Structure 1
Protein backbone atom coordinates (compact mmCIF):
# COMPACT_ATOMS: atom_id res chain seq x y z
CA UNK A 1 0.00 0.00 0.00
CA UNK A 2 1.42 3.38 -1.03
CA UNK A 3 2.03 5.93 1.68
CA UNK A 4 -0.40 8.83 2.06
CA UNK A 5 1.17 12.07 0.88
CA UNK A 6 0.97 15.11 3.14
CA UNK A 7 1.87 18.65 2.13
CA UNK A 8 3.06 20.89 4.95
CA UNK A 9 2.48 24.63 4.67
CA UNK A 10 4.42 26.26 7.52
CA UNK A 11 6.67 29.34 7.48
CA UNK A 12 8.55 28.56 10.71
CA UNK A 13 11.40 26.33 9.53
CA UNK A 14 12.03 24.64 12.90
CA UNK A 15 8.36 23.78 13.36
CA UNK A 16 8.10 22.62 9.74
CA UNK A 17 11.10 20.30 10.06
CA UNK A 18 9.86 18.84 13.34
CA UNK A 19 6.46 18.25 11.75
CA UNK A 20 8.03 16.63 8.69
CA UNK A 21 10.10 14.23 10.79
CA UNK A 22 7.09 13.35 12.93
CA UNK A 23 4.95 12.57 9.89
CA UNK A 24 7.64 10.41 8.31
CA UNK A 25 8.02 8.47 11.59
CA UNK A 26 4.24 7.88 11.52
CA UNK A 27 4.50 6.31 8.08
CA UNK A 28 3.42 9.19 5.85
CA UNK A 29 5.23 10.60 2.84
CA UNK A 30 6.07 14.31 2.94
CA UNK A 31 7.09 15.22 -0.62
CA UNK A 32 7.11 18.95 0.05
CA UNK A 33 7.21 21.61 2.75
CA UNK A 34 6.13 25.07 1.62
CA UNK A 35 6.46 28.36 3.47
CA UNK A 36 3.94 30.47 1.53
CA UNK A 37 0.40 30.14 0.25
CA UNK A 38 1.39 30.92 -3.33
CA UNK A 39 4.01 28.14 -3.43
CA UNK A 40 1.60 25.73 -1.74
CA UNK A 41 -1.03 26.28 -4.46
CA UNK A 42 1.56 25.66 -7.18
CA UNK A 43 2.69 22.46 -5.49
CA UNK A 44 -0.86 21.18 -4.97
CA UNK A 45 -1.62 21.64 -8.67
CA UNK A 46 1.19 19.28 -9.54
CA UNK A 47 1.22 16.68 -6.77
CA UNK A 48 -2.37 16.54 -5.44
CA UNK A 49 -1.51 15.39 -1.89
CA UNK A 50 -3.93 13.36 0.25
CA UNK A 51 -3.91 15.93 3.09
CA UNK A 52 -2.70 19.50 3.56
CA UNK A 53 -1.44 20.63 6.98
CA UNK A 54 -1.89 24.39 6.88
CA UNK A 55 -0.50 26.94 9.32
CA UNK A 56 -3.13 29.67 9.72
CA UNK A 57 -0.67 32.56 10.16
CA UNK A 58 1.56 32.56 7.08
CA UNK A 59 3.76 35.42 5.97
CA UNK A 60 3.32 36.80 2.47
CA UNK A 61 0.37 37.92 0.35
CA UNK A 62 -1.83 34.99 1.38
CA UNK A 63 -2.30 33.79 4.94
CA UNK A 64 -3.27 30.19 5.70
CA UNK A 65 -7.00 30.88 5.62
CA UNK A 66 -6.85 32.58 2.22
CA UNK A 67 -4.71 29.73 0.91
CA UNK A 68 -7.08 27.14 2.33
CA UNK A 69 -10.04 28.90 0.69
CA UNK A 70 -8.39 28.60 -2.71
CA UNK A 71 -7.54 24.95 -2.04
CA UNK A 72 -11.15 24.34 -1.00
CA UNK A 73 -12.55 26.08 -4.08
CA UNK A 74 -10.23 24.45 -6.61
CA UNK A 75 -9.20 21.05 -5.22
CA UNK A 76 -10.89 18.21 -3.40
CA UNK A 77 -8.28 17.84 -0.65
CA UNK A 78 -8.86 17.77 3.13
CA UNK A 79 -7.22 20.58 5.10
CA UNK A 80 -6.08 20.42 8.72
CA UNK A 81 -5.13 23.71 10.34
CA UNK A 82 -2.13 23.86 12.63
CA UNK A 83 -2.03 27.04 14.69
CA UNK A 84 -0.88 28.71 17.88
CA UNK A 85 -4.00 30.87 17.88
CA UNK A 86 -7.47 30.12 19.23
CA UNK A 87 -8.85 33.63 18.70
CA UNK A 88 -12.58 33.51 17.95
CA UNK A 89 -12.33 35.93 15.02
CA UNK A 90 -9.61 33.84 13.37
CA UNK A 91 -11.56 30.62 13.92
CA UNK A 92 -14.72 32.17 12.45
CA UNK A 93 -12.76 33.13 9.33
CA UNK A 94 -11.28 29.65 9.15
CA UNK A 95 -14.68 27.93 9.39
CA UNK A 96 -15.66 29.18 5.93
CA UNK A 97 -12.93 27.04 4.35
CA UNK A 98 -14.46 23.89 5.93
CA UNK A 99 -11.30 22.44 7.53
CA UNK A 100 -11.39 18.92 8.92
CA UNK A 101 -9.93 20.02 12.26
CA UNK A 102 -7.68 22.45 14.14
CA UNK A 103 -4.49 21.23 15.76
CA UNK A 104 -3.20 23.64 18.38
CA UNK A 105 0.58 24.05 18.77
CA UNK A 106 2.40 22.51 20.50
CA UNK A 107 0.72 19.32 19.28
CA UNK A 108 1.25 15.76 20.41
CA UNK A 109 2.23 13.03 17.97
CA UNK A 110 -0.76 10.85 18.79
CA UNK A 111 -3.18 13.78 18.39
CA UNK A 112 -1.67 14.57 15.00
CA UNK A 113 -1.86 10.95 13.84
CA UNK A 114 -5.47 10.47 14.92
CA UNK A 115 -6.67 13.68 13.28
CA UNK A 116 -4.93 12.89 9.98
CA UNK A 117 -6.44 9.40 9.87
CA UNK A 118 -9.91 10.72 10.71
CA UNK A 119 -9.59 13.38 7.98
CA UNK A 120 -8.54 10.80 5.37
CA UNK A 121 -11.37 8.43 6.34
CA UNK A 122 -13.98 11.20 6.47
CA UNK A 123 -12.88 12.49 3.06
CA UNK A 124 -13.15 9.00 1.56
CA UNK A 125 -16.66 8.57 2.99
CA UNK A 126 -17.72 12.00 1.70
CA UNK A 127 -16.49 11.09 -1.78
CA UNK A 128 -18.44 7.82 -1.69
CA UNK A 129 -21.54 9.72 -0.61
CA UNK A 130 -21.07 12.26 -3.43
CA UNK A 131 -20.69 9.40 -5.92
CA UNK A 132 -23.87 7.74 -4.62
CA UNK A 133 -25.75 11.04 -4.82
CA UNK A 134 -24.51 11.53 -8.40
CA UNK A 135 -25.71 8.06 -9.43
CA UNK A 136 -29.06 8.60 -7.70
CA UNK A 137 -29.53 12.01 -9.31
CA UNK A 138 -28.68 10.64 -12.76
CA UNK A 139 -31.07 7.71 -12.27
CA UNK A 140 -33.96 9.94 -11.18
CA UNK A 141 -33.39 12.31 -14.10
CA UNK A 142 -33.50 9.44 -16.60
CA UNK A 143 -36.70 7.85 -15.27
CA UNK A 144 -39.70 7.78 -17.59
CA UNK A 145 -42.00 9.01 -14.80
CA UNK A 146 -42.16 12.33 -13.02
CA UNK A 147 -40.59 12.34 -9.54
CA UNK A 148 -40.83 14.87 -6.72
CA UNK A 149 -39.39 14.38 -3.24
CA UNK A 150 -40.12 16.43 -0.15
CA UNK A 151 -38.89 16.76 3.40
CA UNK A 152 -41.11 15.65 6.28
CA UNK A 153 -42.87 19.03 6.25
CA UNK A 154 -43.85 18.64 2.60
CA UNK A 155 -41.33 21.15 1.22
CA UNK A 156 -39.88 20.17 -2.15
CA UNK A 157 -36.30 18.86 -2.17
CA UNK A 158 -35.90 17.38 -5.68
CA UNK A 159 -37.69 17.26 -9.03
CA UNK A 160 -36.71 15.50 -12.23
CA UNK A 161 -37.21 16.94 -15.75
CA UNK A 162 -40.47 15.00 -16.28
CA UNK A 163 -41.91 16.56 -13.12
CA UNK A 164 -40.85 20.00 -14.32
CA UNK A 165 -42.55 19.42 -17.69
CA UNK A 166 -45.80 18.14 -16.20
CA UNK A 167 -46.18 20.71 -13.42
CA UNK A 168 -44.84 23.66 -15.43
CA UNK A 169 -42.49 24.50 -12.56
CA UNK A 170 -38.70 24.65 -12.84
CA UNK A 171 -36.88 23.07 -9.93
CA UNK A 172 -35.13 26.33 -9.05
CA UNK A 173 -38.58 27.94 -8.63
CA UNK A 174 -40.12 24.99 -6.82
CA UNK A 175 -37.32 24.22 -4.36
CA UNK A 176 -38.46 24.53 -0.71
CA UNK A 177 -42.03 25.37 -1.73
CA UNK A 178 -44.94 23.31 -0.28
CA UNK A 179 -45.73 20.38 -2.54
CA UNK A 180 -49.38 21.48 -2.72
CA UNK A 181 -48.24 24.68 -4.47
CA UNK A 182 -46.39 22.84 -7.23
CA UNK A 183 -48.08 19.43 -7.29
CA UNK A 184 -51.61 20.79 -7.48
CA UNK A 185 -54.00 17.84 -7.74
CA UNK A 186 -57.79 17.56 -7.64
CA UNK A 187 -60.33 14.84 -8.28
CA UNK A 188 -62.29 14.49 -11.50
CA UNK A 189 -65.31 13.98 -9.30
CA UNK A 190 -66.48 17.29 -7.78
CA UNK A 191 -67.73 15.70 -4.57
CA UNK A 192 -64.36 14.13 -3.72
CA UNK A 193 -61.60 16.16 -2.09
CA UNK A 194 -58.03 15.04 -2.69
CA UNK A 195 -56.01 15.03 0.51
CA UNK A 196 -52.48 16.48 0.58
CA UNK A 197 -50.40 13.50 -0.61
CA UNK A 198 -47.62 14.12 1.92
CA UNK A 199 -50.07 14.17 4.83
CA UNK A 200 -51.70 10.98 3.65
CA UNK A 201 -48.44 9.20 2.87
CA UNK A 202 -47.15 9.97 6.37
CA UNK A 203 -50.39 8.79 7.96
CA UNK A 204 -50.87 5.61 5.90
CA UNK A 205 -47.30 4.89 4.84
CA UNK A 206 -48.19 5.18 1.14
CA UNK A 207 -50.34 7.27 -1.18
CA UNK A 208 -52.28 6.22 -4.27
CA UNK A 209 -53.92 8.89 -6.40
CA UNK A 210 -55.69 6.80 -9.01
CA UNK A 211 -58.62 5.94 -6.75
CA UNK A 212 -59.59 9.60 -6.59
CA UNK A 213 -59.43 9.94 -10.41
CA UNK A 214 -56.64 12.40 -9.84
CA UNK A 215 -56.02 15.37 -12.11
CA UNK A 216 -52.88 17.50 -12.02
CA UNK A 217 -53.31 21.21 -12.67
CA UNK A 218 -50.11 22.66 -14.12
CA UNK A 219 -48.74 26.13 -13.42
CA UNK A 220 -50.35 27.30 -16.67
CA UNK A 221 -53.71 25.83 -15.67
CA UNK A 222 -53.61 22.77 -17.95
CA UNK A 223 -55.39 19.71 -16.50
CA UNK A 224 -53.80 16.30 -16.95
CA UNK A 225 -55.11 13.00 -15.52
CA UNK A 226 -52.34 11.32 -13.58
CA UNK A 227 -51.58 8.08 -11.83
CA UNK A 228 -49.79 8.84 -8.55
CA UNK A 229 -47.99 6.79 -5.96
CA UNK A 230 -46.27 8.29 -2.94
CA UNK A 231 -44.18 6.62 -0.27
CA UNK A 232 -42.10 7.54 2.76
CA UNK A 233 -38.37 8.13 2.96
CA UNK A 234 -36.99 6.88 6.28
CA UNK A 235 -33.59 6.87 7.93
CA UNK A 236 -31.89 3.78 9.37
CA UNK A 237 -33.85 4.19 12.62
CA UNK A 238 -37.25 4.32 10.94
CA UNK A 239 -37.67 8.06 11.41
CA UNK A 240 -39.55 9.81 8.59
CA UNK A 241 -37.25 12.09 6.58
CA UNK A 242 -39.68 12.94 3.79
CA UNK A 243 -41.73 11.54 0.94
CA UNK A 244 -41.33 10.77 -2.72
CA UNK A 245 -44.13 11.15 -5.30
CA UNK A 246 -44.00 9.33 -8.63
CA UNK A 247 -46.64 10.24 -11.18
CA UNK A 248 -47.33 9.83 -14.87
CA UNK A 249 -49.63 11.23 -17.52
CA UNK A 250 -52.40 8.69 -18.17
CA UNK A 251 -54.38 10.65 -20.74
CA UNK A 252 -53.75 8.03 -23.44
CA UNK A 253 -54.88 5.28 -21.06
CA UNK A 254 -58.04 7.26 -20.30
CA UNK A 255 -58.74 7.72 -24.00
CA UNK A 256 -58.27 4.01 -24.63
CA UNK A 257 -60.61 3.18 -21.75
CA UNK A 258 -63.24 5.54 -23.22
CA UNK A 259 -62.92 3.93 -26.69
CA UNK A 260 -63.29 0.45 -25.19
CA UNK A 261 -66.26 1.57 -23.13
CA UNK A 262 -67.88 3.15 -26.18
CA UNK A 263 -67.26 0.03 -28.28
CA UNK A 264 -68.83 -2.20 -25.63
CA UNK A 265 -71.92 0.03 -25.49
CA UNK A 266 -72.29 -0.06 -29.27
Structure 2
Protein backbone atom coordinates (compact mmCIF):
# COMPACT_ATOMS: atom_id res chain seq x y z
CA UNK A 1 0.00 0.00 0.00
CA UNK A 2 1.26 3.46 -0.94
CA UNK A 3 -0.02 5.42 2.10
CA UNK A 4 -0.99 8.28 -0.23
CA UNK A 5 -3.09 11.24 0.89
CA UNK A 6 -6.55 11.32 -0.70
CA UNK A 7 -9.18 14.05 -0.66
CA UNK A 8 -12.89 13.21 -1.07
CA UNK A 9 -15.45 15.44 -2.79
CA UNK A 10 -18.91 13.89 -2.21
CA UNK A 11 -22.21 15.62 -1.36
CA UNK A 12 -23.80 12.49 0.20
CA UNK A 13 -22.46 12.32 3.77
CA UNK A 14 -23.17 8.59 4.23
CA UNK A 15 -21.37 7.70 1.01
CA UNK A 16 -18.51 10.05 1.86
CA UNK A 17 -18.06 8.36 5.25
CA UNK A 18 -18.19 4.92 3.63
CA UNK A 19 -15.47 5.97 1.17
CA UNK A 20 -13.34 7.38 3.99
CA UNK A 21 -13.50 4.16 6.00
CA UNK A 22 -12.69 2.08 2.94
CA UNK A 23 -9.68 4.24 2.09
CA UNK A 24 -8.29 4.10 5.61
CA UNK A 25 -8.79 0.34 5.63
CA UNK A 26 -6.75 0.16 2.42
CA UNK A 27 -3.95 2.14 4.11
CA UNK A 28 -4.55 5.59 2.64
CA UNK A 29 -4.73 8.85 4.58
CA UNK A 30 -7.87 10.96 4.04
CA UNK A 31 -6.94 14.65 4.19
CA UNK A 32 -10.53 15.93 4.09
CA UNK A 33 -14.09 15.71 2.79
CA UNK A 34 -16.04 18.44 1.00
CA UNK A 35 -19.61 18.51 -0.27
CA UNK A 36 -19.32 21.25 -2.91
CA UNK A 37 -16.89 22.19 -5.64
CA UNK A 38 -16.37 25.68 -4.24
CA UNK A 39 -15.30 24.44 -0.80
CA UNK A 40 -13.16 21.72 -2.43
CA UNK A 41 -11.16 24.28 -4.38
CA UNK A 42 -10.48 26.33 -1.24
CA UNK A 43 -9.41 23.26 0.76
CA UNK A 44 -7.28 21.62 -1.95
CA UNK A 45 -5.26 24.82 -2.21
CA UNK A 46 -4.14 24.30 1.39
CA UNK A 47 -3.90 20.52 1.70
CA UNK A 48 -2.50 19.57 -1.74
CA UNK A 49 -3.46 15.85 -1.59
CA UNK A 50 -1.86 13.14 -3.74
CA UNK A 51 -5.21 12.28 -5.35
CA UNK A 52 -8.84 13.45 -5.37
CA UNK A 53 -11.95 11.24 -5.53
CA UNK A 54 -14.58 13.46 -7.15
CA UNK A 55 -18.30 12.77 -7.41
CA UNK A 56 -19.57 14.09 -10.76
CA UNK A 57 -22.91 15.31 -9.33
CA UNK A 58 -22.38 17.76 -6.48
CA UNK A 59 -24.47 20.21 -4.53
CA UNK A 60 -23.86 23.85 -5.42
CA UNK A 61 -23.27 25.82 -8.60
CA UNK A 62 -20.21 23.76 -9.63
CA UNK A 63 -20.52 20.07 -10.38
CA UNK A 64 -17.63 17.61 -10.17
CA UNK A 65 -16.60 18.15 -13.78
CA UNK A 66 -16.39 21.93 -13.36
CA UNK A 67 -14.41 21.47 -10.17
CA UNK A 68 -12.04 18.95 -11.78
CA UNK A 69 -11.46 21.34 -14.66
CA UNK A 70 -10.40 24.09 -12.26
CA UNK A 71 -8.09 21.69 -10.41
CA UNK A 72 -6.61 20.50 -13.70
CA UNK A 73 -5.90 24.11 -14.68
CA UNK A 74 -4.41 25.20 -11.35
CA UNK A 75 -2.65 22.07 -10.11
CA UNK A 76 -1.30 18.74 -11.28
CA UNK A 77 -3.34 16.66 -8.83
CA UNK A 78 -4.85 13.50 -10.36
CA UNK A 79 -8.64 13.16 -10.18
CA UNK A 80 -10.78 10.00 -10.26
CA UNK A 81 -14.49 10.50 -10.89
CA UNK A 82 -17.15 8.75 -8.83
CA UNK A 83 -20.56 8.37 -10.43
CA UNK A 84 -23.71 6.30 -10.01
CA UNK A 85 -24.50 6.58 -13.71
CA UNK A 86 -22.14 7.47 -16.52
CA UNK A 87 -24.27 9.10 -19.21
CA UNK A 88 -22.55 9.85 -22.50
CA UNK A 89 -22.93 13.62 -22.22
CA UNK A 90 -21.23 13.70 -18.80
CA UNK A 91 -18.41 11.47 -20.02
CA UNK A 92 -17.77 13.77 -22.97
CA UNK A 93 -17.54 16.76 -20.64
CA UNK A 94 -15.35 14.84 -18.23
CA UNK A 95 -12.81 13.94 -20.94
CA UNK A 96 -11.74 17.58 -21.19
CA UNK A 97 -10.49 17.49 -17.59
CA UNK A 98 -8.22 14.51 -18.40
CA UNK A 99 -9.29 12.38 -15.41
CA UNK A 100 -7.20 9.45 -14.21
CA UNK A 101 -10.15 7.08 -14.03
CA UNK A 102 -13.85 6.41 -13.34
CA UNK A 103 -15.32 4.37 -10.51
CA UNK A 104 -18.99 3.42 -10.68
CA UNK A 105 -21.14 3.39 -7.56
CA UNK A 106 -21.64 1.19 -5.69
CA UNK A 107 -17.91 0.58 -5.97
CA UNK A 108 -16.03 -2.61 -5.27
CA UNK A 109 -13.19 -2.26 -2.76
CA UNK A 110 -10.70 -4.03 -5.01
CA UNK A 111 -11.76 -1.96 -8.01
CA UNK A 112 -11.35 1.26 -6.05
CA UNK A 113 -7.90 0.22 -4.85
CA UNK A 114 -6.77 -0.72 -8.37
CA UNK A 115 -8.04 2.55 -9.81
CA UNK A 116 -6.26 4.60 -7.15
CA UNK A 117 -2.94 2.77 -7.49
CA UNK A 118 -3.02 2.98 -11.29
CA UNK A 119 -3.80 6.70 -11.11
CA UNK A 120 -0.98 7.36 -8.64
CA UNK A 121 1.49 5.38 -10.75
CA UNK A 122 0.44 7.17 -13.95
CA UNK A 123 0.78 10.52 -12.23
CA UNK A 124 4.30 9.69 -10.98
CA UNK A 125 5.34 8.68 -14.49
CA UNK A 126 3.92 11.88 -15.94
CA UNK A 127 5.70 13.96 -13.32
CA UNK A 128 8.95 12.18 -14.18
CA UNK A 129 8.36 12.82 -17.87
CA UNK A 130 7.68 16.50 -17.18
CA UNK A 131 10.83 16.74 -15.10
CA UNK A 132 12.84 15.05 -17.87
CA UNK A 133 11.37 17.50 -20.37
CA UNK A 134 12.32 20.44 -18.16
CA UNK A 135 15.85 19.07 -17.78
CA UNK A 136 16.24 18.60 -21.52
CA UNK A 137 14.91 22.11 -22.07
CA UNK A 138 17.44 23.58 -19.64
CA UNK A 139 20.29 21.68 -21.33
CA UNK A 140 19.10 22.72 -24.81
CA UNK A 141 18.97 26.37 -23.76
CA UNK A 142 22.41 26.18 -22.14
CA UNK A 143 24.06 26.10 -25.58
CA UNK A 144 24.13 29.24 -27.75
CA UNK A 145 23.47 27.30 -30.96
CA UNK A 146 19.99 27.34 -32.47
CA UNK A 147 18.62 23.78 -32.35
CA UNK A 148 15.36 22.22 -33.49
CA UNK A 149 13.87 18.78 -34.12
CA UNK A 150 11.95 18.11 -37.34
CA UNK A 151 9.77 15.13 -38.12
CA UNK A 152 9.55 13.26 -41.44
CA UNK A 153 7.07 15.86 -42.70
CA UNK A 154 9.54 18.65 -41.83
CA UNK A 155 7.34 19.96 -39.05
CA UNK A 156 8.94 21.51 -35.96
CA UNK A 157 8.54 19.14 -33.02
CA UNK A 158 10.76 20.94 -30.53
CA UNK A 159 13.22 23.84 -30.49
CA UNK A 160 15.31 25.74 -27.99
CA UNK A 161 15.06 29.43 -27.16
CA UNK A 162 17.89 30.36 -29.53
CA UNK A 163 16.03 28.82 -32.47
CA UNK A 164 12.80 30.43 -31.32
CA UNK A 165 14.53 33.82 -31.43
CA UNK A 166 15.84 33.12 -34.91
CA UNK A 167 12.29 32.42 -36.02
CA UNK A 168 11.11 35.56 -34.21
CA UNK A 169 8.57 33.40 -32.35
CA UNK A 170 6.60 33.23 -35.60
CA UNK A 171 6.37 29.44 -35.76
CA UNK A 172 2.89 28.05 -35.11
CA UNK A 173 2.14 26.04 -32.00
CA UNK A 174 0.29 23.39 -33.99
CA UNK A 175 1.97 22.73 -37.32
CA UNK A 176 -0.05 21.61 -40.31
CA UNK A 177 2.38 22.56 -43.04
CA UNK A 178 6.09 21.81 -43.57
CA UNK A 179 8.31 23.95 -41.37
CA UNK A 180 10.00 25.48 -44.42
CA UNK A 181 6.79 27.39 -45.18
CA UNK A 182 6.88 29.18 -41.82
CA UNK A 183 10.16 31.01 -42.30
CA UNK A 184 9.62 34.50 -43.68
CA UNK A 185 13.38 35.01 -44.22
CA UNK A 186 13.90 31.77 -46.08
CA UNK A 187 15.99 30.15 -43.36
CA UNK A 188 14.65 26.71 -44.19
CA UNK A 189 15.18 27.02 -47.94
CA UNK A 190 18.43 25.07 -47.91
CA UNK A 191 17.04 22.47 -45.52
CA UNK A 192 14.26 20.94 -47.59
CA UNK A 193 16.44 18.69 -49.74
CA UNK A 194 18.99 18.17 -46.96
CA UNK A 195 16.37 16.85 -44.52
CA UNK A 196 15.04 14.45 -47.15
CA UNK A 197 18.57 13.22 -47.82
CA UNK A 198 19.29 12.57 -44.14
CA UNK A 199 15.97 10.74 -43.67
CA UNK A 200 16.69 8.47 -46.63
CA UNK A 201 20.39 7.76 -46.14
CA UNK A 202 20.85 8.27 -42.41
CA UNK A 203 24.17 9.99 -43.17
CA UNK A 204 24.77 13.28 -41.31
CA UNK A 205 25.02 16.43 -43.42
CA UNK A 206 27.07 19.51 -42.68
CA UNK A 207 27.37 22.67 -44.75
CA UNK A 208 28.00 26.39 -44.40
CA UNK A 209 25.39 29.02 -45.10
CA UNK A 210 25.46 32.81 -45.14
CA UNK A 211 22.39 34.74 -44.05
CA UNK A 212 22.52 38.53 -44.12
CA UNK A 213 25.92 39.34 -42.56
CA UNK A 214 26.24 36.15 -40.53
CA UNK A 215 27.76 32.77 -41.38
CA UNK A 216 26.44 29.48 -39.96
CA UNK A 217 27.64 25.91 -39.97
CA UNK A 218 24.46 23.86 -40.36
CA UNK A 219 24.47 20.25 -39.13
CA UNK A 220 21.72 17.67 -39.66
CA UNK A 221 21.67 14.33 -37.82
CA UNK A 222 19.17 11.48 -37.99
CA UNK A 223 17.39 10.62 -34.73
CA UNK A 224 15.95 7.12 -34.75
CA UNK A 225 12.68 6.89 -32.84
CA UNK A 226 11.62 4.11 -30.53
CA UNK A 227 9.36 1.33 -31.70
CA UNK A 228 6.45 2.78 -33.63
CA UNK A 229 7.97 6.27 -33.76
CA UNK A 230 8.96 7.93 -37.01
CA UNK A 231 12.48 9.06 -37.74
CA UNK A 232 13.38 12.64 -36.90
CA UNK A 233 16.12 15.06 -37.89
CA UNK A 234 18.08 17.23 -35.46
CA UNK A 235 19.09 20.57 -37.01
CA UNK A 236 21.79 22.72 -35.44
CA UNK A 237 22.90 26.21 -36.50
CA UNK A 238 26.39 27.10 -35.22
CA UNK A 239 27.47 30.72 -35.71
CA UNK A 240 30.89 30.82 -37.39
CA UNK A 241 30.85 34.51 -38.36
CA UNK A 242 33.90 35.36 -36.22
CA UNK A 243 35.79 32.39 -37.65
CA UNK A 244 34.98 33.48 -41.21
CA UNK A 245 36.06 37.05 -40.53
CA UNK A 246 39.34 35.81 -39.04
CA UNK A 247 39.86 33.44 -41.98
CA UNK A 248 39.27 36.22 -44.51
CA UNK A 249 41.65 38.49 -42.63
CA UNK A 250 44.34 35.81 -42.75
CA UNK A 251 43.81 35.40 -46.50
CA UNK A 252 44.16 39.13 -47.10
CA UNK A 253 47.25 39.36 -44.92
CA UNK A 254 48.70 36.27 -46.62
CA UNK A 255 48.36 37.83 -50.07
CA UNK A 256 49.95 41.07 -48.84
CA UNK A 257 52.82 39.21 -47.19
CA UNK A 258 53.54 37.14 -50.30
CA UNK A 259 53.59 40.26 -52.48
CA UNK A 260 56.04 41.89 -50.06
CA UNK A 261 58.22 38.77 -50.07
CA UNK A 262 58.25 38.76 -53.88
CA UNK A 263 59.43 42.36 -53.91
CA UNK A 264 62.22 41.41 -51.50
CA UNK A 265 63.12 38.44 -53.72
CA UNK A 266 63.51 40.78 -56.72
CA UNK A 267 65.58 43.30 -54.78
CA UNK A 268 67.84 40.59 -53.34
CA UNK A 269 68.22 39.00 -56.76
CA UNK A 270 69.38 42.29 -58.27
CA UNK A 271 71.70 42.99 -55.32
CA UNK A 272 73.44 39.64 -55.84
CA UNK A 273 73.51 39.52 -59.64
CA UNK A 274 75.05 42.97 -60.13
CA UNK A 275 78.16 42.32 -57.99
CA UNK A 276 78.35 38.82 -59.41
CA UNK A 277 78.59 40.14 -62.95
CA UNK A 278 81.28 42.62 -61.86
CA UNK A 279 83.32 39.85 -60.24
CA UNK A 280 83.11 37.74 -63.36
CA UNK A 281 84.33 40.74 -65.39
CA UNK A 282 87.32 41.23 -63.11
CA UNK A 283 88.23 37.56 -63.27
CA UNK A 284 88.27 37.66 -67.06
CA UNK A 285 90.81 40.52 -66.93
CA UNK A 286 93.25 39.36 -64.23
CA UNK A 287 93.85 37.07 -61.24
CA UNK A 288 94.54 34.03 -63.39
CA UNK A 289 96.13 32.33 -60.41
CA UNK A 290 92.87 32.54 -58.34
CA UNK A 291 90.51 32.25 -61.26
CA UNK A 292 89.47 28.65 -60.51
CA UNK A 293 88.70 29.31 -56.86
CA UNK A 294 86.80 32.47 -57.66
CA UNK A 295 84.75 30.69 -60.30
CA UNK A 296 83.82 28.02 -57.76
CA UNK A 297 82.46 30.63 -55.41
CA UNK A 298 80.67 32.35 -58.27
CA UNK A 299 79.00 29.03 -59.09
CA UNK A 300 77.78 28.76 -55.50
CA UNK A 301 76.37 32.28 -55.61
CA UNK A 302 74.78 31.60 -58.98
CA UNK A 303 73.07 28.52 -57.56
CA UNK A 304 71.61 30.62 -54.76
CA UNK A 305 70.35 33.11 -57.28
CA UNK A 306 68.66 30.33 -59.24
CA UNK A 307 66.97 29.15 -56.07
CA UNK A 308 65.76 32.71 -55.47
CA UNK A 309 64.38 32.76 -58.99
CA UNK A 310 62.51 29.52 -58.47
CA UNK A 311 61.17 30.80 -55.13
CA UNK A 312 59.93 33.92 -56.86
CA UNK A 313 58.16 31.84 -59.52
CA UNK A 314 56.49 29.61 -56.90
CA UNK A 315 55.45 32.64 -54.87
CA UNK A 316 53.92 34.14 -57.98
CA UNK A 317 51.89 30.96 -58.48
CA UNK A 318 50.62 31.10 -54.90
CA UNK A 319 49.86 34.80 -55.26
CA UNK A 320 47.83 34.24 -58.43
CA UNK A 321 45.98 31.37 -56.77
CA UNK A 322 45.05 33.45 -53.71
CA UNK A 323 43.99 36.40 -55.83
CA UNK A 324 41.91 34.19 -58.09
CA UNK A 325 40.07 32.43 -55.27
CA UNK A 326 39.89 34.88 -52.37
CA UNK A 327 40.21 38.51 -53.46
CA UNK A 328 36.98 40.27 -54.50
CA UNK A 329 35.15 36.98 -54.25
CA UNK A 330 31.33 37.26 -54.38
CA UNK A 331 29.44 36.17 -51.28
CA UNK A 332 28.01 33.03 -52.80
CA UNK A 333 27.27 30.23 -50.30
CA UNK A 334 27.53 27.67 -53.06
CA UNK A 335 31.17 28.62 -53.55
CA UNK A 336 31.89 28.23 -49.84
CA UNK A 337 30.25 24.83 -49.59
CA UNK A 338 31.83 23.34 -52.70
CA UNK A 339 33.80 20.15 -52.09
CA UNK A 340 36.15 20.76 -55.09
CA UNK A 341 39.81 21.27 -54.14
CA UNK A 342 40.83 24.70 -55.52
CA UNK A 343 44.55 23.80 -55.25
CA UNK A 344 44.07 21.61 -58.31
CA UNK A 345 43.65 24.83 -60.32
CA UNK A 346 47.00 26.22 -59.27
TM range (shorter): 0.7 to 0.9
TM-score (ref. length: structure 1): 0.85
Q: Would the aligned equivalents of 2:205 and 2:221 in 1 still touch at CA under 8 Å? A: no
The answer to whether structure 1 residue 215 and structure 2 residue 213 are counterparts is no
Total equivalences in the alignment:
250
Q: What is the CA–CA distance in structure 2 between the aligned matches of 1:2 and 1:85, rounded to whole Å? A: 29
Q: What is the CA–CA distance in structure 2 between the aligned matches of 1:88 and 1:149, rounded to whole Å? A: 39
Match of 1:250 in 2: 240
Match of 1:227 in 2: 217
Shift, 1:216, TM fit: 4.7
Q: Would the aligned equivalents of 1:159 and 1:171 in 2 still touch at CA under 8 Å? A: no
1:226-255 CA-partner distances (Å, limit 9, x unpaired): 211111233333843421101112232223
Question: Aligned in 2, Cα 1:120/1:25: closer, same or farther, shift over 3 Å?
Answer: same
Structure number with greater CO (CA < 8 Å, separation at least 6) is 1
Question: As a proportion of its length, which structure holds more helix?
Answer: 2
1:20-45 CA-partner distances (Å, limit 9, x unpaired): 11111111111312111122112211
TM-score (ref. length: structure 2): 0.66
Match of 1:7 in 2: 7
Question: Aligned in 2, Cα 1:178/1:119: closer, same or farther, shift over 3 Å?
Answer: same
The answer to whether structure 1 residue 118 and structure 2 residue 115 are counterparts is no
Report the aligned-residue RMSD: 2.2
Match of 2:171 in 1: 173
Match of 2:334 in 1: none
Match of 1:184 in 2: 188
Gaps of 5+ in 1: 187-193
Q: What is the CA–CA distance in structure 2 between the aligned matches of 1:116 and 1:203, rounded to whole Å? A: 46
Q: What is the CA–CA distance in structure 1 between the aligned matches of 2:170 and 2:121, rounded to whole Å? A: 33
Q: Would the aligned equivalents of 1:226 and 1:247 in 2 still touch at CA under 8 Å? A: yes
Q: Would the aligned equivalents of 1:11 and 1:58 in 2 still touch at CA under 8 Å? A: yes
Shift, 1:179, TM fit: 3.5
Gaps of 5+ in 2: 259-346
Match of 1:202 in 2: 199
Q: Would the aligned equivalents of 1:52 and 1:79 in 2 still touch at CA under 8 Å? A: yes
Q: What is the CA–CA distance in structure 2 between the aligned matches of 1:261 and 1:114, rounded to whole Å? A: 73
Q: What is the CA–CA distance in structure 2 between the aligned matches of 1:197 and 1:159, rounded to whole Å? A: 18
Shift, 1:161, TM fit: 3.4
Q: What is the CA–CA distance in structure 1 between the aligned matches of 2:36 and 2:47, rounded to whole Å? A: 16
Match of 1:261 in 2: 251
Q: What is the CA–CA distance in structure 1 between the aligned matches of 2:244 and 2:48, rounded to whole Å? A: 58
Q: Would the aligned equivalents of 1:205 and 1:232 in 2 still touch at CA under 8 Å? A: yes
Choose 1 or 2 for highest CA Rg: 2
